[in-house]
Amino acid sequence: MSTASARPTIPAACCLVAVLAAVSAIAVSFTHSAGAQDTAIDRLSAEIEDRVIAWRRDFHQHPELSNREFRTSEVVADALREMGLEVETGIAHTGVVGYLRGARERPLVAIRADMDALPVTEATGLPFASTVTTEYRGQEVGVMHACGHDTHVAMQLGVASNLVALKDELPGSVLFIFQPAEEGAPEGEEGGAELMLKEGLFERYRPDVVFGMHAFSNLNTGQIGYRAGAIMASADRFELTVHGRQTHGARPWDGVDPIVVAAQIVTGVQTIVSRQVDLTRAPAIVSFGAINGGIRNNIIPDSVELIGTIRNLDMATRDSVHERLRTTVSNIAEAAGAQADFEIFEQYPVTANDPELTRRMLPTIERVVGRENMIEAVPRTVAEDFSFFALEVPGLYLTLGVTPPGVDPATAPANHSPLFYVDEAALITGVRVLSHLVMDYMAGN
């Protein structure tokens, strides 16, 4: 007698009832588990809030410029080791990575926080304001966390503390990336997210997704900004030297005037965005930041130097603008008998949130902060090197409001201002949102 013929016959209806009962039991168990985890995350976040604020104030009082985050990385690494994470240091000069191994290795969720400060002299008057000074491009300057990176590091340590406490319930693992040099490496150096990837970070740890969050003054405390697709622009800089032929200002026909050619280039370039780019597709910007040439009123100089920035919110538009810039500069110079040395230095790609990942995680954000505090962000023409991580794996980059309730964000000092102010009550929101995002993403996989 075959095994199949020996099996008892069970009516189909009975099978269906049994399956539905099993599924119902699993659903009830999962809902109970998810609810318990939500409660645990919120409780742990409340318990760690004072520590997160203390971390933030410590980092704020001891800011360090890009690729010089020596103390910051040491404090971070020590905190992660104390929590029991596997820690790797010295990535991209001063970067730190903490690996939290959960019940399984997959899914692997990465969270990124940037660590560097800016050459800005603080004017907030806070009791923990920075008094640090250093040398930057040959000048003595103040150093300040004027872009909120101190809050990013502190919040991420808070998230790490939460998830370590829930380690046995983690259905996956977490990679905590503490990144240096988001504001750009010093001249002649490499740094930031691009260098971390170049050194093989995502080859050693290949995350399934990456989350990031940035403190911004354009939202109030408790609010979270989100957007599917492009949320921040690409950022490229260009350098241009127009070579003419020096002559007496009284006899311009004896030379080639690079000042006039430079002026024609500046004017001509304006038509690239205004007349040659399809702005219904995505915004674009080309701005000149400096023009230097000549030394005396009656001498037409040999050359003029120009520098500027290019911003785009679409990668195809970015390529088109670069090509049109080269053509415009070259043709105007050639028509005047001059020569133009033109170089574009590509810095950051467009920061774009993966649409499917964004859609999937919106219910989590709504559950944590409430629908009324979810703000669909307008794309910003500032740039972020989180973009490099999001080109490798699906990414979601959110903005965190840090302007106190009752204060109009439009009047609040902007990021990079010496008066940039963070309402520390916002930090707990960031910790909760990121902790829930990790847990919910893993539960969904």
Sign of the CA dihedral running 48, 63, 426, 224 = negative
Could you tell me if 395 and 211 are in contact, meaning their C-beta atoms sit under 8 angstroms apart?
Answer: yes
Q: Which of 223, 265, 262, 137 is nearest to 407 (CA)?
A: 223
Q: Which of 386, 367, 391, 370 is nearest to 439 (CA)?
A: 367
Q: Could you give the residue numbers annotated as active site?
A: 348, 424
Compute the distance between CA of residue 264 and CA of residue 151 in angstroms, rounded to an integer: 45
Sign of the CA dihedral running 245, 248, 249, 250 = negative
Compute the distance between CA of residue 243 and CA of residue 342 in angstroms, rounded to an integer: 11
Could you tell me if 246 and 299 are in contact, meaning their C-beta atoms sit under 8 angstroms apart?
Answer: yes
The strand pair at 229-232 and 351-353 is best described as antiparallel
Cβ neighbors of 163 (< 8 A, separation 6 or more) are 100, 170, 174, 435, 438, 439
| 3-state SS class at 17 | helix
